[in-house]
Amino acid sequence: MKQVSTEILVIGGGAAGLSAAAEAASAGAKVLIVESDLRLGGQLIKQTHKFFGSKDEFAGTRGFKIADILLNEIDAFKDSVSVLQNTTVTGFYIEDDTFTAMRGEEEVFQIKTQKTIVATGAQERLIPFPNNDLPGVYGAGAVQTLMNVYGVLPGKRVLMVGAGNIGLIVSYQLMQAGVEVAAVVEAAPRVGGYWVHAAKIRRMGVPILLRHSIKKALGEDIITGAVISELNEKFEHVGPEREIACDLICIAVGLSPTTELLSQAGCKMMYVPQLCGNVAQRDRTMRTSHPDFYTAGDASGIEEASAAMVEGRIAGLSAAAALGYPTEHGKIDEYWGRLESLRMGEAGARICQGIECVLVKGWEGAAHE
Amino acid sequence: MDEKVGPGRRGRDLDLIEEHPILDFQHGERVRFFFDGKEFEGFEGEPISMALHANGVRIYRETAEMHRPRGFFCAIGKCSSCFMIVDGVPNVRTCITPLKAGMKVETQHGKGNVPEMDERRRHS
């Protein structure tokens, strides 16, 4: 079987992976980025809104422009960074210390590497309700891919499930694309996302129904509507049913970290609700319990893209340093400073609690727990 | 960018966003492909599932046991919902497989089988 080798393998070419690759390459390391999608940039290329956060992470710039900035940065290291798009890393075989990968659906090969940065991102969560499997129930990220990357109309009239930042932002983007938003339902008693995003869609007349959720989807083969109702404190449907005519139900109820490869490598995993799922324990260099595996971005805990970029920088820098490439002293502390400033505020406090659970000081002793 | 269907082509246009306040869509070459034997048009190099969606196709496969329709869901190659038969190969993740001119895309019923592979197993 064909085998490719590299010094640092970066799995996932999104916000975290591109930052990791740029950082590792700037230290002098040879990097291979493997991306399952047809384009690099991950979720950034679907984001049309201007980012919050800090200037260091391009606050005020639209997401897809940030992707361009990172791609330009990578371009400067053409000699040391290679990229495989439309290529999925399908597994890690610990006994052979080898990855298997698939380019397209047919071409299978192996990858050998000294260090690996797992920046595989996240996947959409789904909530249970009858007919949630019918075509027309789409994840929020998928809706963004259709309309913001490929310019395809995702539907005519949508029910948005979830009023976190993603639900609110995607509702606004749907309206920009010419899709009618019937309503946003949110199970919690308050809006989860930033107030400015909620205000924007309220100004355009979209009702945000708090303590409401979808009870069932309607349709034989494809979605023709949804039944919603009010919830009580125990999140049980209690209020009168209301039927909403729609051909699209957009699910924005959160994401789960994509961590299978880390588990396959035997990295110590932990379920951390604040980070939205099972994530790898890591030290301040983003190294996991496996000495050659690093984690960054949503794969290490669901957070905003700004933080993913900084975590990617830390992982890239550390992996290069571990290979003996000279890196600037104190850089990791500087990046941690940036993370701390990004994690100020209410949502950040929750993230910090989660990080505290998975962050280890060192691996001696911990490795044999 | 040629958005309209030219003379002698399919009469129905694609469900595309024509005007957008922020984005300017750059599409590839518009090519013909086949969905369940019918001729469709889509943009070369863009994922198959996007082309199908723009042609109004919502059902991409049918599950093996419950015979439930499945379509688009995650669009990042992670959920298996959009598996279809492409040029005879089953279980193709159509959300991350680029469209090519003349491609034969089929609704997948059940798990899908690989005839050549079954044949090879029988001989080995």
Interface probe for A, chosen from B60, B73, B82 (most Cβ of A below 10 Å), is B73
Q: Do domains A3-123+255-368 and A133-251 have the same CATH topology?
A: yes
Of A300, A339, A297, A306, nearest in space to A69 by CA: A306
Region B43-56 average pLDDT: 97
Query: pLDDT digits over B92-113, tens only?
Result: 999 999 999 999 999 999 998 8
Contact A120, A12 (CB under 8 A): yes
Model confidence pLDDT, tens digit, residues A124-171: 999 999 999 999 999 999 999 999 999 999 999 999 999 999 999 999
What pLDDT is recorded for position B121? 73
Q: Could you say which residues of chain A have pLDDT below 70?
A: 365-369
Angle of the A15-26 helix axis to the A305-322 helix axis, nearest 10: 30
User: DSSP letter at B107?
Assistant: P
Q: Which residues of B touch A (CB under 8 A)?
A: 14-17, 19-23, 25, 27, 43, 45-47, 50, 53-54, 58-60, 68-79, 86, 89, 91-93, 95-98
* Partner-chain contact B75 A139, CB within 8 Å: yes
List the structure tokens of A174. 């749907």
If you average pLDDT over residues B40-47, what whole number do you get? Answer: 97
A315 to each of A116, A336, A347, A348, A363, how far by Cα in Å?
9, 12, 23, 20, 16
Instruction: Using a pLDDT cut of 70, give the percent of chain B over it.
Output: 89
| A154/B53 CB distance under 8 A | yes
Residue A214 parent element (H or E): strand A212-218
Those residues of chain A whose CB sits closer than 8 Å to some CB in chain B are 36-38, 48, 62, 64, 86, 88, 104-106, 121, 123-124, 133-139, 141-142, 145-148, 150-154, 176-178, 221-222, 258
Whether A151 and B22 lie within 8 Å, measured CB to CB: no
B17 → closest Cβ in A133, A178, A258: A178
Domains of chain B: 30-109 (3.10.20.440)
pTM: 0.93
Residue B4's pLDDT band, with cuts at 50, 70 and 90, is: very low
Of B19, B59, B72, the CB nearest to A142: B72
Tell me how many degrees the CA angle A162-A44-A277 measures, rounded to the nearest 5: 50
pLDDT of A273: 97
Residue B11 pLDDT > 70: no
Say what the pLDDT of residue A365 is: 59
**Is pLDDT of B9 > 50?**
no
Query: How many residues make up chain B in this entry?
Result: 124
Residues of B in contact with A142 (CB under 8 A): 72-76, 95
Instruction: Answer whether residue B117 shows pLDDT above 90.
Output: no
Architecture of domain A3-123+255-368: 3-Layer(bba) Sandwich (3.50)
pLDDT band at residue B8 under the 50/70/90 scheme:
very low
The domain ranges of chain A are: 3-123+255-368, 133-251
Quote the minimal CA–CA distance from B108 to chain A in Å: 14
Sequence letter at residue A279 = V
For residues A92 and A99, the answer to whether their CB atoms sit within 8 Å is: yes
d(Cα A273, Cα A214) in Å, to the nearest integer? 23
With an 8 Å Cβ cutoff, are A150 and B46 in contact? yes
In tens, the pLDDT along B63-76 reads 999 999 999 999 99
pLDDT for the residue numbered B19: 87
Name every chain A residue with its beta carbon within 8 A of the beta carbon of B74.
123-124, 139, 141-142
The confidence score (pLDDT) of residue B116 equals 73
The helix or strand, by DSSP H or E, that contains position A261, with its residue range, turns out to be helix A260-264
Does B98 sit within 8 Å of A146, measured CB to CB? no
8 Å CB contact of A123 and B74: yes
pLDDT at B119: 73
Indicate the CATH number for domain A133-251: 3.50.50.60
Cβ separation of A138 and B73 shorter than 8 Å? yes
